[in-house]
Amino acid sequence: MTITLRRTSLAVLTLTAAALGSSGVWATDGYYQPGFGARQKALGGAGVADGRDATTTALNPAGLVHAPNEFSMAISAFSPHRYVEGSDPNPFPGFTPGGRVESDSKLFFIPNMAWSQRVSGGIVDVIGVSMYANGGMNTDYRGVARDLAAFNCFNPVTFAPVGNQTGVFCNGRSGVNLQQALLSVSFAKEVMPGFSVGVAPILARQQFEAEGLKAFGVGGSTDVSWGGGVKGGIEWAVMPNVRLGVAGTSPIWMQPSKSIQICSPSRATSISRPICRQASRSI
């Protein structure tokens, strides 16, 4: 089995007009951020075609040609609310609890920083370095009590107890934590008036931790992997105050997981004999 967290063939096509406002923007783009820094956040992803500062390298390195010599830092606050809800208040037999259990992790701070330097007489116009992260979607469900009288947290075939018979998945406190940190070095060049290209090799570090999922054969350790990929893009000033931007990111190929296994229950005993395979991943 393969876990794939992939942003493959991502192409964002955006037209921005300086004289026109937008009626609405997306607040988020799933697990990934639509922009880094206050300005890119405010544009809601339209910064792909309107790069003006060092942080644009995280979206479209071609826009770096408009950035001055600068260093910037920012931090984003992210507050998702997640919960597990069972339709039956007292399932029989029950593996997950009835009712609603909310994740205790509700506020995350995600930093980023960027630096740009203009170059005179070189094969590129601007060099940039950017560090940014993806995160803020980890869960943390407390070890709620289960109704053992209704055979909650018992194997439906053997009726053997599962785990310590508390928590969402019968193994006490549970949740997952996936963190991604990325470092990119960008190179941008205006190849003709109004038309620029950019490329940014990416170094990535990914960390995954699972707790309370032993019933699936997962948990009890933290897995760290490294990988790399590349981002590229173009920006074209079609006319005054109107730019066209296209950017794409290759999959970031990561090392195979050394300590995390993904398991599927066997047909015979449902929970007690999981079938496991090593996980491999790409962002």
223 falls in which pLDDT band (50, 70, 90)? confident
With beta carbons less than 8 A apart as the criterion, state whether 173 and 209 touch: no
pLDDT for the residue numbered 5: 32
Percent of the chain whose predicted confidence (pLDDT) is above 90: 24
pLDDT exceeds cutoff 80 at 215: no
Higher pLDDT, 51 or 62: 62
The residues, ordered by sequence, that sit 6+ positions from 37 with a Cβ below 8 Å of its Cβ are 53, 55, 72, 74, 112, 114
Segment 76-129, tens digit of pLDDT: 888 888 888 876 655 556 677 777 888 888 888 888 899 999 998 789 999 999
pLDDT for the residue numbered 259: 57
List the alpha helices (DSSP H) in 12-51.
37-43
Give the residue-averaged pLDDT of 3-26: 32
pLDDT for the residue numbered 218: 67
The DSSP element (H or E) to which 101 belongs, if any, is: strand 99-102
What distance lies between CA 34 and its chain's CA centroid? 11
Look at residues 275, 266, 276 and name the one whose alpha carbon lies nearest to residue 158. Answer: 266
Higher pLDDT, 72 or 222: 72
Residue 124 to residue 173: CA distance in whole angstroms: 52
What's the mean pLDDT when you consider all of the chain? 75
Segment 168-178, tens digit of pLDDT: 888 888 888 88
pLDDT for the residue numbered 12: 32
Domain with residues 14-278, CATH architecture: Beta Barrel (2.40)
Residue 230 to residue 148: CA distance in whole angstroms: 52
**Whether the predicted model's global pTM rises above the 0.75 cut:** no
pLDDT exceeds cutoff 80 at 200: yes
pLDDT for the residue numbered 25: 36
pLDDT for the residue numbered 185: 95
The pair of three-digit structure tokens given for residue 186, joined into one six-digit string? 């960008």
Higher pLDDT, 75 or 235: 235
